[in-house]
Structure 1
Amino acid sequence: MSDIPQDLKYTNEHEWARVQGKVVVVGVTAHAQQQLGDVVYVELPKVGATLSKGDSFGTIESVKAVSELYAPLSGKVVKVNEELTSSPEDVNTAPYGDGWLIELEVSDTSQLSELLDAAAYGELLKNA
C-alpha cells in the first residue's frame, strides 16, 4: 500500500486536501495515480471558478482511461497548477508535491469535518 501522508485529508474519490487556513491545495492520491497509470493530460478549471463539494472540476487522462476530478470542498478556485500543461507526469512522480492540481478558497469550512483522515483513508484502501 502507498504511503499515506498524515497531514492531509482525503475523499472517497481519492483526492487529497492540504489545509492552509481558508485555502486548500487539492490533488489526487498516490493510489489514484497508480490506478490511472501514466498521466498524459490534465484539464483544470479556470481561476475564479466556483465549485460545490462533489462537483467535477476537470479531468485527468492517462494511457488507460479518462477520469473525472471532484472538488473535496466548496469554494473558489484561486490557483491552478499551470505546470501540468507541459508536465502532466508530475501527477505520477510527485502526487503530493509538484503534481498538485488546484488551490481552493474554501467557502464552508464545516465541510472539512466530512473528509477522511489518513487512518480512515487507509481503511478505505484496505476495503477496496
Structure 2
Amino acid sequence: MDQMTVALDQNGRTATTATIRQYTIVMDRPSENGGSDAGPMGGETLLAAVGGCFMSTLYAAAGARSVTVKDATCRVTGEFAANPRRFAAIRIEVACDSCPPADLAHLVEVAERGCLVAATLRQGMPVTASVSQPGEG
C-alpha cells in the first residue's frame, strides 16, 4: 500500500463525515465554538488516532511476545501552543493491571517506535491543501 486516502463530506451546516472503509466518523465543533456538536473536533480525533494506533501496535507487540494484556487503558493528552494554535506536544500514558510492569514498559517502548501515527507526527511532514475540480474529490 503506497498511500491511504480518507473521504470527507459536509454533514449539515458545520459537521463533516469521514468515511474510512465501512466506518464513518462525524466531526464538528462544540456549540459554544459555533458548531452543532455532532461529533468530536478534528483535534480530538487526532488524539484518538494517536491512541488507537499506539494501542493497536502495543497489542500486536504483546501478542508477538505472548504477553497477556487485558483491560489496558490509554490517555492521550495534547498540550497547546499558540500562533498558530496547534499541539506543541502529545503525551501518551498507558496503564494495564494484568501486565507485569517490566513487560508493559517494554511494550510501550515498542509501540512508541512502531505506531505509524506517532512516528509520522514525530518526524514532521509537509501538509498541503489545494482545490480539486468537481467530481475529483
**How high is the TM-score relative to the length of structure 1?**
0.27
Q: Which has the higher contact order (CA 8 A, sep 6+)?
A: 1
Higher strand share: 1
Considering fraction of residues, name the structure with more helix. Answer: 2
